[in-house]
Amino acid sequence: MAQAFKERLIKKISQILRNYSRVACEQVRQQWSRYDVKGLAEINYKVEDVETVVTAFIWAAGQKAWLLEYGKGSKMERSTTENPFLAEYLSGAVTDSGGDPLFNPERLQRGMAIIGRPFGLYCDLDDVIHFSSGYLEGLMLEPVEGRQFPFVIEPLPPRKIIKNVLFGQNNDGLIAEINKEIAEAILEIAADIMSMFPREIVLMRS
């Protein structure tokens, strides 16, 4: 009975995680599509069950995905708790373009605002190499009240789309629904297996 319970439960949990992982990816893609942000945005999932452990992996990649999750410029998420990739971004380690700088270090002195780059090559979060003429080097490119400037880049607050889909604002995201369905599945399977036992025992005298 114990083996039957385990096998049924693992199969059911795998099904639940696959269903919700697919829904999570679909919801994230729908929300991404609402924003006009340059770059790639990809999300996918995989569910593995090894013996008695079932694990769901959801991963995302691309500049658009990154910027919508953690923000851009002076409004980007600067907490390493909320933005676990911040240290890599500041060091330029998230790119493998061969050494062309990703992060403009002058932003550190300007509240992380978007600042014009010096002359030379740099790459974006999709590892695409760009060229800077250097004409705007050191200039604040974000909007400044009262200033007329032909080239402006708006900062972007973190939308935390993936986090909100999975965890919600008040622990009401898909993770909470997954936990509820798994708990219900445990009770349902346990009750079904218990129903296989005889409802009464008759003692026979020899």
Side-chain-side CA neighbours of 54 within 13 Å: the count stands at 17
Place of tokens 């569910």: 47
Structure tokens at 86: 């911040």
Structure tokens at 63: 């500049």
Side-chain-side CA neighbours of 94 within 13 Å: the count stands at 19
Confidence (pTM): 0.85
- Residue pLDDT tens, the chain, 206 long: 677 778 888 999 999 999 999 999 999 999 999 999 999 999 999 999 888 899 999 999 999 999 999 999 999 999 999 999 898 888 875 554 444 568 898 999 999 999 999 999 999 999 899 999 999 999 999 999 888 888 899 999 999 999 999 999 888 999 999 999 999 998 988 887 777 666 555 556 65
CA neighbor of 8 nearest in space, from 23, 21, 16: 16
